[in-house]
């Protein structure tokens, strides 16, 4: 089989996958439009203090930042904002580890006063081969600071990886299990991003690490499922 035929087939499969994700987004959007947004049931009875219950802030690394996207409106935060009809500030910063994010989080909470903090971190910790205990401790500290601020923490598992970064998959699975366990202990809401990808390389850019437009849309779907 010629390389051009293989390339065409891969492109067709990717386009089909993107269409599937967009159809899923449309169905979610219609549901949210009927049910209403603003954090839904997860905010019922919560004391936000001086925070804005209609403001979301996403804390993360280059995946949250939207690295490699031609149009930043395709980032999961922009899509999430559009579907909720509420602002979602993007505080994703390329290369950030959980330690970097912990240093930033107090200032972010102070400056924005958000009702919700959306957390998706840990990929760069894995790249640096940092111990799981260190990563989980940092994430726990971020969640605790967030709760102390009367902001609702929503933490996501990290996506899988492919290509040159395929070696991270087992580490990501293990870390995600720890993240879920810790989040339950802290009473934080969990977004199961990892499982949404179903080991599908068509949802990633050529580097195998950063989700493409369809992958970002899928992350938005996962968050909407929890926040609706």
Hey, what long-range contacts does 43-47 have (CB within 8 A, 24 or more apart)?
43/115, 43/116, 43/152, 46/150, 46/152, 47/150
User: Which structure tokens are listed for 31?
Assistant: 């549901």
Q: Mind listing the pLDDT tens digit for each residue in 32-79?
A: 444 444 555 799 999 999 999 999 999 999 999 999 999 999 999 999
Report d(CA 84, CA 81) in Å as an integer: 5
CA–CA separation, 185 vs 9, rounded Å?
45
Question: What are the tens digits of pLDDT across the range 212-224?
Answer: 999 999 999 999 9
Give the per-residue pLDDT at 21: 55
Of 21, 33, 56, 20, nearest to 221 by C-alpha is 21
Structure tokens at 188: 């934080």
Interacting residues of 94 by C-beta distance below 8 A, sequence separation 6+: 61, 62, 65, 67
DSSP H or E segment with residue 143: helix 132-148
Structural domain of 69: 3-227
- What global pTM score does this model have? 0.86
Per-residue pLDDT tens for 138-188? 999 999 999 999 999 999 999 999 999 999 999 999 999 999 999 999 999
Tally of domains within the chain: 1
Q: Name the residue with higher pLDDT: 26 or 56.
A: 56
Buried b (16+ CB within 10 A) or exposed e, 63-89: bbbbbbbeeeebbbbbbbbebbebebb
Q: What is the CATH number of the domain that holds 53?
A: 3.40.50.1110
């Amino acid at each position: 089989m010629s390389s051009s035929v293989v390339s065409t087939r891969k492109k067709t499969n990717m386009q089909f996958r993107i269409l599937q994700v967009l159809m899923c987004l449309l169905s979610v959007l219609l549901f949210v439009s009927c049910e209403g947004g603003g954090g839904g049931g997860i905010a019922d009875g919560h004391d936000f203090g001086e925070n804005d219950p209609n403001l979301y802030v996403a804390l993360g690394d280059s995946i949250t930042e939207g690295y490699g996207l031609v149009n930043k409106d395709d980032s999961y935060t922009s899509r999430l904002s559009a579907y909720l009809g509420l602002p979602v500030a993007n505080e994703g910063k390329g290369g950030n580890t959980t330690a970097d994010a912990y240093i930033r989080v107090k200032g972010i909470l102070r400056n924005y006063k958000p009702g919700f903090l959306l957390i998706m971190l840990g990929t760069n910790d894995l790249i640096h081969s940092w111990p799981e205990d260190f990563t989980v401790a940092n994430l726990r500290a971020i969640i605790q600071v967030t709760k102390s601020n009367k902001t609702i923490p929503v933490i996501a598992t990290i996506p899988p990886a492919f290509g040159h970064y395929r070696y991270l998959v087992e580490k990501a699975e293990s870390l995600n299990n720890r993240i879920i366990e810790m989040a339950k202990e802290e009473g934080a809401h969990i977004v199961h991003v990892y499982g949404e990808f179903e080991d599908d390389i068509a949802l990633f850019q050529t580097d195998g690490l950063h989700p493409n437009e369809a992958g970002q849309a899928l992350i938005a779907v996962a968050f909407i499922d929890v926040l609706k």
